[in-house]
Every structure is written in structure tokens, then in C-alpha cells.
Amino acid sequence: MLPPALLAMTPLAGQARDWAVDAAQSTLTFKGTYQNEGFNGKFKKFDAAISYDEADLAKAKFDVKIDVASVDTASSERDDSLKGDEFFDPKKFPQAHFVTDSFAKAADGGVEAKGKLTIRDKTQPVTLKVKFAATGDKATLDVDTVLKRADFGLGAGKDWNDIGADVPVHGHLVLTGK
């Protein structure tokens, strides 16, 4: 039997490591187009519960909640439109939510996370490309995907053909081991 001090230092088998997000250093960004002009945006407030071990993807899990009212595109007019009832409508739908279902090695050798994203009470499957790099108790997690805004009812109600249909999304999380 292991002494209690040694037992406490031994990682639990079959359990992914939990990571705390450093909100001040982490970003959740997206790119959009309006009348064929590109713009960048970000969400200033989001929270993520991350449990990840690349050696045991079956136990990994991401659970991300995004405060959609915190959207910032460096244009108050555009931000007001995004907060309106034809887009995010944060008064009625205050947060977007992504949770993983599974992780797997991709054909290119990377990792993919499959999950479900809910925006405006519309839930769609989403696949993230995952890049994770850890050194001791510090790590970075980068995720990328492309969303179809119409799949979530964003821009519904009017002819919004002057807004791009595809929205590339990138998350860069700075993590500390729990």
C-alpha cells in the first residue's frame, strides 16, 4: 500500500485533468463580413469548464458558456445590431452554450472535439479543431471552427444577404492546472 503522501501525488487513472481558465489572458473571437467588408469580433465574457488529457480523450470534456451581450466588434452600431432581436437577442437568450460529446484523433493527426452549440435556443452539432499544449501546470488550448449563422437563426426576419453566411470562430484559452 502506498503511503498517503505518495498516494496524493499519484494522478488518478482514467481521469482527465481539470484546468482553470485565465479569463484575463483568454479570448473568444470571430470573423464576419458585411457588404463584403471583413470585421473582427470577440466576446468579452465567457466561462469554460475544461477537463482534458490528450492521452485519454474518452474522459475529456469542454463546457463553455458565452455571455452574448458582451459581443464587441469595435463598432457600436454593429454591436447594437448583433444585440438586437434578429441576431443574439440577449434579453431573451442571454447565453450561448457549447458542450462536447466526444473527442477523437483526426486524419491529420490533430484532435477534433464534437459537440453541440446552442444559440437562441437552436442547437446544432459543431466540430472543433483542438490544439492543446501543456508544460507542467500551465497550458494553452486553441479551438477553431466555422459556423453557419443561419443554422442558429442569426439574421432571421429580414433579407440579410449582405452579411456573410460563414463565421470562423477561434478560441485561445490560457489554462492553469487545478
Instruction: Please tell me the predicted confidence (pLDDT) of residue 4.
Output: 43
* HSE-CB for 106 with a 13 A CA cutoff: 12
Instruction: Please tell me the predicted confidence (pLDDT) of residue 169.
Output: 98
Q: Which three cell numbers stand for residue 79?
A: 454591436
Considering the domain 15-177, what is its CATH architecture?
A: Beta Barrel (2.40)
3-state secondary structure of 141: strand
CA proximity to 49, closest of 125, 91, 122, 100: 100
Instruction: Please tell me the predicted confidence (pLDDT) of residue 159.
Output: 65
> Tens-of-pLDDT digits for all 178 residues of the chain?
444 443 344 444 456 899 999 999 999 999 999 888 999 999 999 999 999 998 999 999 999 999 999 999 999 999 999 999 989 999 999 999 999 999 999 999 899 999 999 999 999 999 999 999 999 999 999 999 999 999 999 987 666 677 889 999 999 999 999 9
Q: Which residues, in sequence order, are CB contacts of 96 under 8 Å at separation 6+? A: 65, 66, 68, 88, 117, 118, 119
Asked if 57 and 49 touch (Cβ cutoff 8 Å), the reply is no
Instruction: Please tell me the predicted confidence (pLDDT) of residue 15.
Output: 67
Q: Delimit the domains of the chain by residue range.
A: 15-177
